[in-house]
């Protein structure tokens, strides 16, 4: 054997090993980022005059030490969600009012964002603003900016409590209290949309007041040969029956245990007696044929299209689809909150912030925080928010809601949102409890229920077991 | 996905193993030099990720923070959680649809084209059968979703021929979703098999067919006694590629059902994806991936053995 040959094989081995080492070394050396600095310390140059911001409408003029975008050119590095115009419109308006701010906007589908966010946050070019699909794990990993300093500086902590607490994460990883890691661009609301002309056919002149009344209408719709509830349920879209199930849970039982479970409070369980009653209602609805027979194959967008074309009297969905219903069934769509099981009990609803966070290592955190504050307080921004988002823009309780065109469904959802806000019965979505409880728990188990392969008790037990498995592995 | 790529390339690497030895030394060095760029790429994008997956599978790691050694715990979890081990059974059910049907049908179509329609018509059939290979799978998946939906074309046809009773949302039905995904798989993979086998047939000495015909052999006799035995190697390649496609399936299932309904079409590829990217359990995902790779080896090696034996 020649020396040359040996030399070559040695070289080959060396190349292999060096590559291997390089690849192995990468993750090991990326230590978790250290605790974030309190952001208020960073003093940005204060704009002398705000001639570019003629319509700023916070109740008090900002104190001189409040973080802002300065006067130097700033480029905000942002990741938005594809398919939703709102953040793009807001960014455009923001640059109009603050011409020194330009945007570098990347966008991706929500499902892709779920998978890519950890790498975006920990990467070399961490975003100043990013749509956060989930936040607990990122907060625990130190990838998100601690916003408590900004909350104090801008006075966010004086806003109605439910707005911020969904974005708070405690050191033990439970949500609902602790450090603020994100803000909502707006606060969406879910409930029941209905086709007015079909509702008239079954004699529904005004929204039901109780669950029993609602179920009565469902039975009437079925008897009239109509599809009572349009819904989606394919694994690709995620099982839409999670919406009516959660609505039923809050209708028959209290809201707090549901939120505790979503926020991963120690010992929280979804398998409670009142949730069992809720799941039994849903199982009965399925057995009664209140949902489309092909629900397990229906995609989210198809369900919406079929509803706007007149298939289904009711549809459980959120106000982010207001624009679609206004456009495709103008004047023919109504909205009401899921009625409570007992008359007089306040209604409850899923109401989640459209969550945006700032990367811990972001280059322009002050400007990003200023933007988040501007979105909730600037009159023009709030108008855009309602026009393109259809949801409540949040912000200080004493700011008036922007005007909405006459006849838009948004009037009804905003009014409903005020009721929920007053009652304090907002919930996050049960599909957001852990990062994959929807894909691994709710969706397959509810699909089984549709096929008669799972009952109400089994559903809650299976989801609870999956929840505990995921928490144990965290 | 890297799983399927790496398994395919390892499988092809196996089939090219026995190269002639005893070359002049100089030529051998030059030969190595020529393969060096490819080897480096192969190492960087196949071997190292593969070794890393094995390495990760012994850790609990979210992909960002520090890694914790957990030994065999991830492997135990794979066996303990029914939803994870269940995906492997689904993968084997897919082998029937992704592998046996396309190869079997491909053989019949190829030999029919060869015997009955070698001319224009044969070219046309070959093109039509091969077309799915050209169409982007995601687009095809969406279209198949429409075709197989309750108001879709498949059910319209069934209703129009009086079979309205069996119409259903094929991809949303617990019993039928996997066969429906299987049919999409046949549609995708049949063209590949047919073209490969047709090429193989064209290399068979025509004298053999002539002799068979003189002896009064029917198409079926020819098929059993000439075509199939002499296509052994091509069949081997088809089986290898399609079995890997079935066991390591991701794309077709992901675009058709996403693993639903109720995990009835969930395959290891889908679970690995969810575990790694949604749940951020890189270690557990790697453990399942490693088990999938071993499984592919266990199934592929006998196929390679059987189809390489010569008479």
Does the beta-carbon distance from A473 to B277 stay under 8 Å? no
Same domain, A78 and A176: yes
* Confidence at residue A268, expressed as pLDDT on a 0 to 100 scale: 94
CATH number, residue A267: 3.40.190.10
**In terms of domains, do A216 and A264 share one?**
yes
CB-based contact B284 A443, cutoff 8 Å: no
pLDDT of B248 above 70: yes
Contact B48 A27 (CB under 8 A): no
Q: Do A2 and B25 touch (CB under 8 A)?
A: yes
User: With b meaning 16 or more CB within 10 Å and e meaning fewer, what string describes A88-105?
Assistant: ebbbebbeebbeebebeb
**A197 lies in some domain:** yes
Q: Is residue A118 part of a domain?
A: yes
A207 and A339 both lie in a single domain? yes
Once rounded to an integer, what is the mean pLDDT over residues A290-305? 94
CA B79, chain centre distance (Å): 24
Question: For residue B65, which residues of chain A lie inside 8 Å, CB to CB?
Answer: 32, 141
Mind giving me the DSSP string for A279-323?
HHHHHHHHHTT-S-TTGGG--HHHHHHHHHTT--SEEEEEGGGHH
Interface test with A, best of B85, B279, B281 (most A CBs within 10 A): B279
Q: Are residues A260 and A249 in the same domain?
A: yes
Give the mean pLDDT of chain A. Answer: 85
Q: What is the pLDDT of residue B21?
A: 56
Cross-chain residue pair B277–A114, CB shorter than 8 Å: yes
Residue A199 tokens read as: 């509702």
- Please report whether residue A42 resides in a domain: no
Q: Which of B116, B95, B36 is nearest to B296 (CA)?
A: B95
Euclidean distance between CA atoms B130 and B136, whole angstroms = 13
With an 8 Å Cβ cutoff, are B48 and A31 in contact? Answer: no
Residue of A nearest to B168 (CA): A294
Mean pLDDT of A85-94: 93
Q: Considering only CB atoms, which chain A residues are within 8 Å of B47? A: 16
**Do A367 and A305 fall into the same domain?**
no
- Would A49 be classed as within a structural domain? no
Facing B51 at nearest CB: one of A20, A234, A469:
A20
Section B218-229 average pLDDT: 89
Q: Looking at the structure, do residues A303 and A450 belong to the same domain, yes or no?
A: yes
Q: Give me the pLDDT at residue B62, please.
A: 85
User: Of B145, B174, B257, which has the smallest distance from its Cβ to A453's Cβ?
Assistant: B174
CA separation for the pair A54, A380 (Å, rounded)? 10
Contacts of B2 in chain A (CB under 8 A): none
- 3-state secondary structure (DSSP) of residue A335: strand
Name chain B contacts of A294, Cβ cutoff 8 Å: 149-150, 168-169, 172
In a domain, A151, yes or no: yes
Residue A308: which pLDDT band, with cuts at 50, 70 and 90? very high
Q: Do A451 and B258 touch (CB under 8 A)?
A: no
In this structure, are residues A44 and A65 in contact, taking their beta carbons and an 8 Å threshold?
no
Axis crossing angle, helix B48-56 with helix A3-29, rounded to the nearest 10: 40
pLDDT for residue B22: 59
Beta bridge partners of A74: A101
Q: What is the pLDDT of residue B47?
A: 95
d(CA A116, CA A1): 50
What pLDDT sits at residue B38? 94
Q: Kindly report, residue by residue over A45-80, the tens digit of the pLDDT.
A: 333 333 344 444 444 444 457 899 988 999 999 999
pLDDT at B309: 62
Q: Given 3-state DSSP classes, what are the helix, strand and coil percentages for chain B, each rounded to the nearest 5?
A: 75, 0, 25
Query: Is A292 in the same domain as A440?
Result: yes
- CA A9, A14, A15, A19 torsion-angle sign: positive
Structure token pair of residue A145: 């900016």
Q: A377 vs chain B: nearest CA distance in angstroms?
A: 34
How many Å lie between the alpha carbon of B250 and the closest alpha carbon of chain A? Answer: 13
Contact between B195 and B130 (Cβ < 8 Å): yes
Which of helix, strand or coil describes residue A417?
helix
Q: Number of structural domains, chain A?
A: 2
What is the pLDDT averaged over residues B240-254?
Answer: 92
Query: B257–A30: do the CB atoms touch at under 8 Å?
Result: no
Q: Each residue of A116-160: pLDDT tens digit?
A: 888 899 999 999 999 987 888 889 889 999 999 999 999 998 887
Structure tokens at A256: 């707090």
What residues of chain B lie within 8 A of the CB of A24, using their CB? 52, 55
> Does B262 contact A453 at a Cβ distance shorter than 8 Å?
yes
Q: Which pLDDT belongs to residue A375? A: 94
Asked if residue A434 and residue A341 are part of one domain, the reply reads yes
Nearest residue to A39 (alpha-carbon basis) of A370, A315, A279? A370
Taking CA–CA distances from A469, the nearest residue in chain B reads B81
Residues A112 and A214 in one domain: no
Residue A388: predicted pLDDT:
85
Query: Which chain A positions have a beta carbon within 8 Å of B169's beta carbon?
Result: 293-298
Q: A435, B280: Cβ pair inside 8 Å?
A: yes
Average pLDDT over residues B27-54: 93
B90 pLDDT more than 60: yes
Q: With an 8 Å Cβ cutoff, are B150 and A297 in contact? A: yes
What number of other Cβ atoms are within 10 A of residue B47's Cβ? Answer: 17
List CB contacts (< 8 A) between B263 and chain A.
Answer: 444
Give the integer Cα–Cα distance in Å for B16 and B9: 11
Q: In this structure, is residue A143 part of a structural domain? A: yes
Q: In angstroms, rounded to a whole number, what is the distance separating the alpha carbons of residues A409 and A307?
A: 15
**Of A40-44, A443-447, B271-275, the least confident:** A40-44
Mean pLDDT of A448-465: 96
Q: Which residue has the higher pLDDT, A112 or A241?
A: A241
Identify from A296, A299, A300, A441 which residue to disrupt to test chain B contact, counting B C-beta atoms within 10 A and taking the largest count: A296
Percentage of residues in chain A having pLDDT higher than 90? 59
Smallest CA–CA distance, residue A444 to chain B, in Å, is: 4
Positions of E strands within chain B: 59-60, 68-69
B114 pLDDT more than 70: yes
Write the residue in B32, B83, B172 that is nearest to A296 by C-beta. B172
Cis amide prior to B261 (ω within 30 degrees)? yes
**pLDDT averaged over chain B?**
87
Instruction: Say yes or no to pLDDT of A27 above 60.
Output: no
CA distances in angstroms from B80 to A244, B19, B62, B74, B220, listed in the order given = 32, 43, 21, 10, 49
- Put simply, the answer to whether A298 touches B278 (Cβ < 8 Å) is no
Beta-carbon separation of B173 and A296 below 8 A = yes
- Low-confidence winner among A193-197, A218-222, A319-323, B99-103 (lowest mean pLDDT): A319-323
Residues in B closer than 8 angstroms to A469, CB to CB, are 81
- Nearest beta carbon to residue B64 from set A12, A30, A235: A30
Chain B, nearest residue to A16 by Cα = B43
Of B29, B263, B279, the CB nearest to A444: B263
| Cβ within 8 Å of residue A3, ≥6 positions away | none
The parent domain of residue A109 ranges over 74-188+353-409
Residues A123, A129, A132, A135, CA torsion sign:
positive
Q: Is A327 exposed, middle or buried (0-12, 13-18, 19+ CB in 10 A)?
A: exposed
Which one of B69, B277, B284 would you mutate to disrupt binding with A, by most A Cβ within 10 Å of its Cβ? Answer: B277
Higher-scoring residue by pLDDT: A336, B114 = A336
Per-residue pLDDT of A197-232, as tens digits, reads 999 999 999 999 999 999 999 999 999 999 999 999
> How close A252 gets to chain B, by Cα (Å)?
27
Contacts of A118 in chain B (CB under 8 A): 62-64, 280
Report the pLDDT value the prediction gives residue A174, as an integer from 0 to 100. 87
Of A294, A435, A444, the CB nearest to B150: A294
Closest listed residue to residue A428, CA positions, set A260, A233, A236, A237:
A260
Query: Residue B278 and residue A435: Cβ atoms within 8 Å?
Result: yes
Does pLDDT of A168 surpass 80? yes
Q: Do residues A267 and A231 both lie within one domain?
A: yes
Enumerate the residues of chain A whose CB falls inside 8 A of the CB of residue B149: 294, 297-298, 302
CB contact under 8 A, A235 and B259: yes
Angle between helices A365-377 and A86-97 (to 10 degrees): 100
A375 assigned to some structural domain: yes
- Asked if A129 and A175 sit in the same domain, the reply is yes
What's the pLDDT at A4? 46
Asked if residue A340 has pLDDT above 90, the reply is yes
Residue of A109, A117, A438, A473 for testing the chain B interface, max B β-carbons within 10 Å: A473
ipTM of the prediction: 0.82
Residue A220: inside a domain: yes
Mutate to test the interface with B, among A21, A440, A459, A472 (most CBs of B within 10 A): A440
Q: Mean pLDDT over residues B135-149, rounded?
A: 90
* Residue A58: predicted pLDDT: 43
pTM given for the model: 0.81
By percentage, how much of chain A surpasses pLDDT 70? 86
- Quick check: A293 and B150 CB within 8 A? yes
pLDDT of the residue at A257: 94
Angle between helices A443-450 and A273-287 (to 10 degrees): 50
How buried is B130 (Cβ within 10 angstroms: 0-12 exposed, 13-18 middle, 19+ buried)? middle
Containing H/E element for A49? none
Would you call B280 and A473 a contact, using CB atoms and an 8 Å cutoff?
no
Residue A18 has pLDDT above 50, yes or no: no
- Is B190's pLDDT higher than 80? yes
A315 and A438 share one domain: yes
**Partner residue opposite B52 with nearest CB, options A24, A119, A297:** A24
Cβ contact, residue pair A4, B277, below 8 Å: no
CB atoms within 10 A of CB B221: 13
pLDDT digits (tens, 9 = 90+) for A178-188: 999 999 999 89
- B98 versus A17: the higher-pLDDT residue is B98
User: What number of C-beta contacts closer than 8 Å exist between A and B?
Assistant: 144
């Amino acid at each position: 054997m020649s020396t040359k040959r040996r030399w070559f094989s040695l070289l080959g081995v060396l190349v292999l090993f060096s590559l291997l080492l390089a690849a192995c070394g990468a993750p090991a050396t990326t230590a978790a980022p250290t605790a974030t600095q309190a952001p208020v310390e960073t003093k940005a140059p204060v704009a002398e005059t705000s001639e570019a911001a003629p319509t700023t409408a916070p109740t008090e003029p900002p104190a001189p030490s409040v973080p802002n975008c300065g006067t130097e050119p700033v480029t905000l590095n942002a990741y938005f969600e594809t398919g939703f115009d709102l953040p793009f419109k807001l960014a455009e308006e923001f640059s109009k009012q603050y011409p020194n701010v330009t945007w570098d906007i990347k966008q991706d589908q929500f499902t892709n964002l779920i998978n890519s966010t950890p790498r975006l946050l920990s990467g070399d070019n961490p975003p100043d603003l990013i749509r956060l699909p989930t936040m607990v794990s990122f907060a625990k990993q130190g990838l998100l900016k601690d916003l408590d300093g900004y909350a104090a500086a801008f006075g966010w902590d004086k806003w109605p409590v439910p707005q911020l607490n969904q974005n708070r994460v405690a050191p033990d990883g439970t949500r609902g209290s602790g450090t603020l890691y994100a803000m909502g661009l707006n606060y969406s609301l879910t409930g029941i949309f209905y086709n007015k002309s079909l509702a008239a056919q079954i004699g529904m002149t005004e929204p039901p007041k109780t669950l029993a009344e609602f179920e009565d209408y469902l039975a009437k719709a079925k008897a009239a040969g109509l599809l009572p509830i349009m819904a989606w349920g394919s694994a690709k879209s995620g099982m839409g029956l999670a919406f009516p199930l959660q609505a039923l849970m809050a209708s028959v039982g209290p809201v707090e245990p549901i939120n505790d479970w979503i926020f991963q409070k120690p010992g929280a369980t979804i398998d409670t007696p009142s949730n069992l009653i809720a799941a039994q209602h849903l199982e009965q609805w399925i057995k009664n044929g209140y949902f489309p027979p092909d629900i397990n194959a229906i995609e989210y967008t198809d369900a919406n299209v079929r509803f706007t074309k007149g298939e289904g009297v009711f549809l459980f969905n959120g106000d982010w689809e207001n624009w679609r219903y206004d456009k495709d069934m103008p004047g023919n769509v109504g909205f009401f909150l899921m009625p409570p099981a007992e008359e007089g009990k306040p209604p409850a609803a899923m109401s989640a912030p459209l969550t945006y966070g700032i990367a811990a290592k972001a280059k322009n955190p002050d400007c990003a925080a200023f933007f988040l504050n501007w979105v909730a307080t600037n009159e023009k921004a709030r108008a855009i928010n309602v026009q393109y988002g259809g949801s409540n823009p949040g912000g200080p309780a004493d700011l008036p809601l922007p005007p909405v065109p006459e006849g838009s469904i948004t009037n009804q959802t905003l009014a409903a949102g005020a009721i929920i806000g007053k009652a304090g019965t907002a919930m996050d979505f049960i599909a957001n409890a852990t990062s994959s409880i929807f894909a691994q728990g709710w969706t397959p188990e509810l699909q089984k229920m549709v096929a008669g392969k799972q009952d109400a008790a089994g559903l809650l037990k299976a989801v609870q077991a999956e929840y505990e498995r995921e928490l144990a592995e965290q | 996905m890297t799983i399927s790529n790496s398994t395919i390339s390892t499988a092809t690497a196996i089939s090219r193993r026995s190269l002639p030895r005893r070359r002049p030394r100089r030529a051998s060095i030059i030969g190595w030099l020529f393969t060096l760029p490819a080897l480096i790429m192969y190492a960087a994008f196949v071997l190292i990720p593969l070794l890393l997956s094995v390495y990760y599978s012994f850790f609990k790691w979210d992909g960002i923070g520090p890694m914790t050694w957990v030994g065999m715990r991830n492997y135990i979890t794979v066996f303990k959680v029914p939803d994870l081990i269940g995906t492997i059974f689904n993968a084997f059910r897919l082998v029937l649809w992704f592998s046996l049907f396309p190869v079997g049908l491909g053989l019949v179509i190829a030999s029919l084209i060869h015997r009955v329609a070698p001319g224009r018509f044969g070219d046309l059939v070959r093109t039509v059968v091969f077309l799915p290979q050209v169409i982007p799978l995601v687009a095809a998946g969406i279209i198949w979703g429409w075709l197989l939906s309750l108001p879709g074309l498949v059910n319209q046809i069934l209703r129009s021929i009086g079979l309205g009773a069996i119409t259903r949302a094929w991809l949303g039905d617990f019993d039928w979703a996997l066969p429906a995904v299987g049919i999409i798989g046949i549609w995708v993979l049949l063209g590949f098999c047919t073209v490969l086998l047709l090429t193989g047939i064209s290399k068979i000495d025509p004298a053999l067919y002539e002799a068979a015909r003189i002896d009064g052999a029917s198409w079926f006799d020819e098929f059993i006694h000439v075509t199939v035995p002499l296509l052994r190697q091509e069949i081997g390649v088809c089986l290898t590629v399609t079995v890997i496609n079935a066991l390591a399936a991701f794309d077709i299932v992901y675009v058709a059902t996403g693993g639903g309904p109720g995990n009835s079409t969930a395959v290891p590829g889908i679970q690995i994806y969810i575990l790694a990217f949604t749940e951020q359990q890189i270690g557990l995902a790697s453990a399942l991936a490693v088990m999938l790779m071993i499984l592919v080896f266990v199934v592929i090696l006998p196929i390679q053995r059987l189809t390489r034996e010569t008479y």
